[in-house]
């Protein structure tokens, strides 16, 4: 934890002073209120998608660091808007109550939000309870199995498409889903693989299933019909890959073992 905190401090220092104001057309679309409203989803542990809330109410994580860096590149202040799930981010991005949001860019979301190239690729699988006896993906799809997922997420949508016999229920947050797993009211939790190892440690005998039923890129979303905003965040993501900003953000969050997405073609 101390190493992650130190890396985060170094990252924020490396972002440097605020840049000159961006092109007026970009600012009009990307920061229409004069500040960049950055939408992030929070969870119990930091991931390439989730930030964590700290005791003082602030957040830390990859998406927070990237949002701060993007605001500085624009030369505007940042306002962080934290939501319990990426479904809420989709809605906020689509209706314009936030300027950008970090979320998996599945086909359903692409109908409502435009996306930069991905900065990470997620794979979705299941955490299953010891009592369930489930050991493979196939065994999840039984009439006696109830799967919990997070409301409005790409992961739970994909689970719904792939499961025919199992029952699916949704809740707003990871904490609520884990409470159901611990209570034994559900047998499986549909979530991204990178998020599951820390959660597995809190549930004795649970296992993470091998394989993935969804593979999708995580990207920066902007409201539809904002071409200047989309071009700017797309260039920002690619630049963050090249200059090491993205790698430093992952490392500062304790995600040294996770690969960032390759440059877009």
Nearest partner of 122 among 89, 149, 155, 91, judged by Cα = 155
Give the angle 110-46-252 at the CA atoms, nearest 5°: 110
* Structure confidence by residue, pLDDT tens digits, 213-234: 999 999 999 999 999 999 999 9
pLDDT at 14 over 70: no
Across the chain, mean pLDDT equals 93
* Structure confidence by residue, pLDDT tens digits, 150-207: 999 999 999 999 999 999 999 999 999 999 999 999 999 999 999 999 999 999 999 9
- Model confidence, pTM: 0.87
Distance (Å, whole) CA 258 – CA 125: 17
Distance (Å, whole) CA 15 – CA 254: 18
Task: Tell me what the mean pLDDT of segment 122-129 comes to.
Answer: 98
Nearest partner of 61 among 18, 17, 102, 99, judged by Cα = 102
DSSP secondary structure of 230-260? HHHHHHHHHHHHHHSHHHHHHHHTT-TTSPP
Domains in the chain: ranges and CATH: 2-120+217-252 (3.40.190.10), 122-214 (3.40.190.10)
């Amino acid at each position: 934890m101390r190493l992650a905190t130190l890396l985060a401090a170094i990252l924020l220092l490396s972002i440097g002073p605020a840049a000159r104001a961006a092109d007026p057309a970009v600012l009009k679309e990307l920061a229409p209120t004069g500040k960049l409203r950055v939408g992030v989803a929070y969870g119990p542990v930091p991931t390439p998608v989730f930030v964590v809330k700290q005791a003082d109410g602030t957040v830390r994580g990859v998406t927070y660091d990237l949002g701060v860096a993007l605001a500085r590149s624009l030369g505007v202040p940042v306002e962080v808007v934290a939501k319990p799930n990426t479904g809420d981010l989709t809605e906020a991005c689509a209706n314009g109550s936030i300027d950008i949001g970090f979320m998996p860019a599945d086909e359903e979301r692409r109908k409502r939000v435009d996306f930069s190239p991905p900065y990470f690729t997620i794979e979705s699988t299941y955490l299953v309870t010891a009592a369930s006896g489930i050991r493979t993906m196939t065994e999840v799809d039984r009439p006696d199995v109830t799967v919990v997922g997070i409301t409005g997420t790409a992961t739970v949508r994909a689970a719904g498409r792939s499961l025919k016999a199992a029952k699916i229920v949704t809740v707003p947050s990871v904490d609520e889903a884990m409470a159901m797993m611990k209570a034994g009211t559900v047998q499986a939790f549909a979530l991204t693989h990178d998020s599951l190892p820390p959660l597995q440690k809190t549930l004795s005998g649970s296992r993470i299933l091998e394989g993935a039923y969804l593979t999708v890129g995580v990207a920066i979303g902007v409201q539809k019909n904002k071409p200047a905003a989309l071009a700017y965040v797309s260039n920002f993501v690619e630049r963050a890959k090249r200059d090491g900003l993205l790698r430093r953000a992952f490392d500062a969050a304790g995600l040294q073992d996770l690969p960032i997405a390759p440059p877009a073609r």
